[in-house]
């Protein structure tokens, strides 16, 4: 039996948008296929993606420029609404590079996800988002 179409305040996951305290978010996550979900369902979907995908995009939680976060705890890799997907085990930077947009460094990380799998990624230190690829054979 097919689900009826969602009501005006119901998302494709069957829940209402997630209540947020930030004006720049609307509490709705969208998939590449155009489905809408509350943040909790989107997080559950991303945790499953860790098992089936070879590459994901995630955010490095804000913190200092070394691998230990505030209070000595490890930096985390999270979803957009800050749900933890993994822990940063190794983080290092390239030498500073110059461009017409300013100085930046390449950031290299290794991450252990919630399932114990290892991921590696790299990206500019100007952005919090980073693409991670599964490390196979480890």
Q: How far apart are CA 61 and CA 68, in angstroms?
A: 11
Confidence of residue 133 (pLDDT cuts 50, 70, 90): very high
Over residues 37-62, the mean pLDDT reads 91
Q: Is the pLDDT of residue 24 over 90?
A: no
Confidence of residue 64 (pLDDT cuts 50, 70, 90): very low
Q: Is the pLDDT of residue 68 over 80?
A: no
Q: Is the pLDDT of residue 66 over 50?
A: no
Q: What is residue 7's predicted lDDT score, i.e. its pLDDT?
A: 54
Show me where the domains of the chain are located: 1-46, 53-134
Q: Is the pLDDT of residue 120 over 70?
A: yes
Confidence of residue 65 (pLDDT cuts 50, 70, 90): very low
Confidence of residue 44 (pLDDT cuts 50, 70, 90): very high
Name the burial class of residue 42, with classes exposed (0-12), middle (13-18) and buried (19+) by CB atoms within 10 angstroms of its CB: buried
Q: Length of the chain in residues, anyone?
A: 138
Q: How far apart are CA 94 and CA 32, in angstroms?
A: 32
pLDDT, tens only, 102-116: 777 888 999 999 999
Taking the CA atoms of residue 6, residue 10, residue 14 and residue 17 in that order, the dihedral angle to the nearest 10 degrees is: 150
Backbone angles phi, psi at 52, to 5 degrees: -110, -15
């Amino acid at each position: 039996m097919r689900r009826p179409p969602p009501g005006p305040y119901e998302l494709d996951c069957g829940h209402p948008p997630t209540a947020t305290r930030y004006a720049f978010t609307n509490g709705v996550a969208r998939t590449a296929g155009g489905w809408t979900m509350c943040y909790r369902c989107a997080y559950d979907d991303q945790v499953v993606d860790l098992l089936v995908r070879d590459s994901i995009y995630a955010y490095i939680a804000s913190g200092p420029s070394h691998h230990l976060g505030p209070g000595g705890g490890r930096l985390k890799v999270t979803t957009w609404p800050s749900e933890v997907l993994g822990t940063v085990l190794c983080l290092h930077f390239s030498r500073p590079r110059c461009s017409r947009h300013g100085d930046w460094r390449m950031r290299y990380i290794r991450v252990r996800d919630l399932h114990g799998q290892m991921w590696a990624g790299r990206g500019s230190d100007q952005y919090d988002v980073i693409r991670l690829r599964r490390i196979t054979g480890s």
